[in-house]
Structure 1
């Protein structure tokens, strides 16, 4: 008898084992597994424990799912089902019925003019980060940049948040992110309910994160959150009304939005900046050009909103790191009805996985994809297919609203560090990329050498 995979012309990825399917491969080497799938077919069936999904390996088909035929697909699938418990009904995981309402409430906060108001916070925290480095000292750049990005994010959400709330989220992130990915790769609920130490740590960390988000909302309600001049994302969310009237967010919905912002934004810019520092240490030409740009543009002590747009080389470096290491390295959708995807027919209920990492590392789209090459983003001859395949923030109506905030934040942090320091790999250090809930690195040890005459 022909299998469903054959009936629909979709091949199954190799190496599946009874009961667990491809879970072992997704735990050991998920990024290598993706590359192998690309060589298998345009659509590839994968088995994740008892779950089944179809991995999209062609960019035009991914665009069809995310943009052109998005009305036939809803957020859903293995990844989504395990992200919902950690972000509730925040904008990233809210269902289609409520998405447009919530997006209209949130979108004004993330316009470019609105984000410009937060650049001084980014610049202040970037200067604080740079000033903490010491001559010839070894520093964990990833840990330090993450501390900076969490401070930026919490100050932007609610400026009077307490320092202990910042520290609390720092201690919870690794546990939550690792636990979420373990549940995605091995979606067997019974295994994650066992009274084992790692399961208990995850549940305790998640409960504490939710409690902290709730505390921030309660403090905002009790304070100046309703004031017309109160700053921060959260007070703006409290004041927002679609069309100037109608229902706003409840406290529970505000807590979900805070949780989504913290989990989505706390790790990503830190990883991008840390990996940019790592690659620049091995690319002297790009490092020299970056230093020349920041020396010319950054004449004052603080970086202003207008300066961000005058740092094109810095921005290209950030863009190239996002290509090489997209934080959201896989996302999923669920077909709401039987739908044709290219030459393939997918039954209703089919889970579809799209991997930005897979496309960003396709040599047919990005020649020599493992090479750090910021110049590729300054070429007029870059094909439109490659630009369409660049999906670090997703695409379509569910594209991440925080993309401009994240780009500005990473640009400010990188430019501030480059202004004062040359960072070099510490002896015996190595970079270990982790494909957890976001793509990240555990640590990145580097030695700080002050640039002559540019000490912070």
Structure 2
């Protein structure tokens, strides 16, 4: 490995402005910007205002950043610092030994033995939304999918949730999710303390959500029963080394993180799926043919997942082209060399799954939606860490298996009865915010006749 004394400086992306650096380009054309950084150099230096930052853009260096040298990096940077104001110190944001302890305590909640129950809740919620549609109806699909994933979360996280508490959570969550994105891309603390209407709504939603969750935790503790849901699993978990469980504050933080991760990301990817399939009838026909062959007209179930091979490849390709976490950051806790380039202690290091997944050196014709690039013989040529829809190493998303199962089963359930059609006729267009979302959300639902 290159020593720090001989490590060379990273190549600087041209085009920075006095005082502002490259911040305007990141704000105005973020997806083009991260691809420019990728094409500039494997490790590219840019500036946000006057502060230097580094973008890492190859699979080999992703392994160094997230696995080999992971102990020298922590979750940090302006994106995470502001997000934690709303999400707390849960798995998505915590660091060091505390993160490892929380991950150990949370792991039983995602054991494969629980996946069937979670899948059942997802399919029940999908059946509800499917039964509410009429042939030819124009629906605000993004909102409908968000409502559906919130319903799934309520059923899996709190099995004995009252109707009033569920409604309050659904009212509060949208402001929380929007606030995470707003804070991440406007990481200026005093702005979020101003008595603006948006800040007051955010604070009030957070206060009400905290009160609702606090009441639920109190009720669970008082009952002293295993409700066979995510919250019970988290409450009953004990650290192998200390025999201690989570405090009420830690439970709050983990629940808030799960609420955002379990609703926004899944709903967004499902919205991408329906928009892409509407634009690609050839892919849609192959999905329908597989559903007809595997299911024979009956409802899909958790046990059908292994047989939905092509639909699985569709989900993989969606995660390649439209990763919801399109840009992420780390902060160097010690001086380190990446790719022969010196990264100083305290530096912000960015990486972009969006840019990584669209590297033409790894994915030929990267702008083409091609599920068959995930056929085993073709996927074998993709470097292991050049595809990171759920991260890697100790920070890899703990809910990866659950997310794959939920998205695949919901698609199978809804596509068994409905086709989605674009209202505008335009191809799907991405908007990069806290997640990577389609610009349009209105779609027409048409009943599928076999």
In structure 1, the residue matched to 2:130 is: 130
Conservation of the 8 A alpha-carbon contact between 2:185 and 2:433: no
**1-structure distance, mates of 2:394, 2:444:** 42
The structural deviation recorded for 1:333 is: 1.5
- What pairs up with 1:154-303 in 2 under 5 angstroms? 154-223=154-223, 226-228=224-226, 230-243=227-240, 246-299=243-296, 301-303=298-300
Conservation of the 8 A alpha-carbon contact between 1:431 and 1:444: no
Matched, 1:339 2:336: yes
Q: Residue 201 and residue 410 in structure 1: after superposition, are their counterparts in 2 closer, same or farther (change >3 A)?
A: same
In structure 1, the residue matched to 2:379 is: 382
TM-score by length of 1: 0.91
Conservation of the 8 A alpha-carbon contact between 1:334 and 1:350: yes
**2-structure distance, mates of 1:184, 1:46:** 18
**2-structure distance, mates of 1:20, 1:211:** 41
The structural deviation recorded for 1:227 is: 1.8
| Deviation string, structure 1 residues 267-299 (Cα, Å, up to 9, x no partner) | 111111111111111222211111111122225
- What pairs up with 1:285-324 in 2 under 5 angstroms? 285-299=282-296, 301-324=298-321
Gaps of 5+ in 2: 1-6
The structural deviation recorded for 1:214 is: 2.8
Moved more, 167-176 or 46-55: 167-176
Conservation of the 8 A alpha-carbon contact between 1:429 and 1:445: no
Please give the secondary structure, in 1, of the residue aligned with 2:240. Answer: helix
Please give the secondary structure, in 1, of the residue aligned with 2:115. Answer: helix
Matched, 1:32 2:29: no
**1-structure distance, mates of 2:371, 2:169:** 32
The structural deviation recorded for 1:433 is: 2.7
Conservation of the 8 A alpha-carbon contact between 2:279 and 2:427: no
The structural deviation recorded for 1:405 is: 0.8
User: Residue 394 of structure 1: which of 391, 403, 411 is its match?
Assistant: 391
Conservation of the 8 A alpha-carbon contact between 1:110 and 1:402: yes
Matched, 1:58 2:58: yes
The structural deviation recorded for 1:383 is: 4.5
Conservation of the 8 A alpha-carbon contact between 1:172 and 1:206: yes
Conservation of the 8 A alpha-carbon contact between 2:58 and 2:386: no
**2-structure distance, mates of 1:168, 1:21:** 42
Q: Residue 132 and residue 244 in structure 1: after superposition, are their counterparts in 2 closer, same or farther (change >3 A)?
A: farther
The structural deviation recorded for 1:307 is: 1.1
- What pairs up with 1:353-432 in 2 under 5 angstroms? 353-427=350-424, 431-432=428-429
**2-structure distance, mates of 1:390, 1:212:** 38
TM-score by length of 2: 0.92
| Deviation string, structure 1 residues 28-75 (Cα, Å, up to 9, x no partner) | 221111111122222122323454321112221121010111122122
In structure 2, the residue matched to 1:68 is: 68
Conservation of the 8 A alpha-carbon contact between 2:119 and 2:405: yes
Please give the secondary structure, in 2, of the residue aligned with 1:46. Answer: strand
**1-structure distance, mates of 2:327, 2:220:** 34
Gaps of 5+ in 1: 1-6
Conservation of the 8 A alpha-carbon contact between 1:124 and 1:302: no
**2-structure distance, mates of 1:179, 1:48:** 21
Conservation of the 8 A alpha-carbon contact between 2:8 and 2:340: no
Q: Residue 164 and residue 29 in structure 1: after superposition, are their counterparts in 2 closer, same or farther (change >3 A)?
A: farther
Matched, 1:143 2:143: yes
Q: Residue 174 and residue 386 in structure 1: after superposition, are their counterparts in 2 closer, same or farther (change >3 A)?
A: farther
Please give the secondary structure, in 2, of the residue aligned with 1:309. Answer: helix
| Deviation string, structure 1 residues 1-48 (Cα, Å, up to 9, x no partner) | xxxxxx952233344334433333222221111111122222122323
Q: Residue 286 and residue 28 in structure 1: after superposition, are their counterparts in 2 closer, same or farther (change >3 A)?
A: same
**1-structure distance, mates of 2:322, 2:228:** 32
Conservation of the 8 A alpha-carbon contact between 2:301 and 2:409: no
**1-structure distance, mates of 2:310, 2:163:** 34
